[in-house]
Structure 1
Amino acid sequence: MSRLKTLREYVDNELLMLAEDKRVSATAHLYGVSLAATILAKKRGMNEELAAMAAMLHDMHAYKSGSYDDHAHLGADLARDVLGKLNITTEEETDTICSAIYHHDDKLVVDSPMDELLKDADVIDHCFKDSSKPVKEKEQQRYDNLCKELGLN
């Protein structure tokens, strides 16, 4: 079984513990960000599997706790625990995934390439899932840059 499939099975089982409406929303978001991360990684010549894995875990703390308070930082700790338990990544890969999760909510700051990729994948899912909603102020510049990068002007 692939590492990504192993991780997705873990995430799916964790999401089963949520109420149905929250589970549907969480599943749609995590899989949506994972798909966007895979596409961006391919376009940018980055590791698609690690990008998808970071995306699958990026909001797990918020979903499990029911709170978005400091969810990125706490989510990085949770991701480290999950990846250690599953034993599917090297220490360096775990550090890369956890850094991306740790920084993913800092949309106005520029961090490492994988950190930026996860931020951008999150913005894609937020902004394209329901285009009737206005783009959040903290995501506007990133959204505009992504539209240019993807030729969606």
Structure 2
Amino acid sequence: RYRPLLVDIHSDAKAVWAASEAVLASAHKLTLAYEKFAGSPAGRLVNLSGRQRMLSQRMAKAYFFRQMDVNAGPAGEMLDTAMKEFAKAHEELKSAGINTAQIRDELALVEQQWFFFQNALGMRDAGSQKKAATDVGTTSERILEQMDLVVGHYERLALGTPR
């Protein structure tokens, strides 16, 4: 039901918003089940780092919906909440005792992208909107890619295979 809506997001942007929220709710249930099944600190970190991937995309979504003036109020609230959650979770991930050097390096790269992402998300003046939109798109994807690597590292730790 969601994929066809993405063909032309402008035809029914509110339906895209609602469908994306339904997909997110389903994915969240699945990740919580994984964390419970894993039953280890690494399992929690898999969930937390995976959630960071989602948050990078959620922030981009909220930014673009706000820019399109579709659900602008809820999108702004979503953006603020997601930014706070992302920053808090990033600190928790950085301080995890099981982190390897690789994980620390990947998280440092995420932190660099996070700096640029925050700047792009904060650009509101009309003259900066095109650059901001480009930067939001590229930095959200870069964070997603980096966090995907982090998830993989934590998954290997959860399975007892650090490399």
Which interval holds the TM-score relative to the shorter structure? 0.3 to 0.5
TM-score normalised per structure 1: 0.34
Structure whose CA Rg is larger: 2
Structure with higher helix content: 2
The one of the two structures with greater contact order (alpha-carbon pairs below 8 A, sep at least 6) is 2
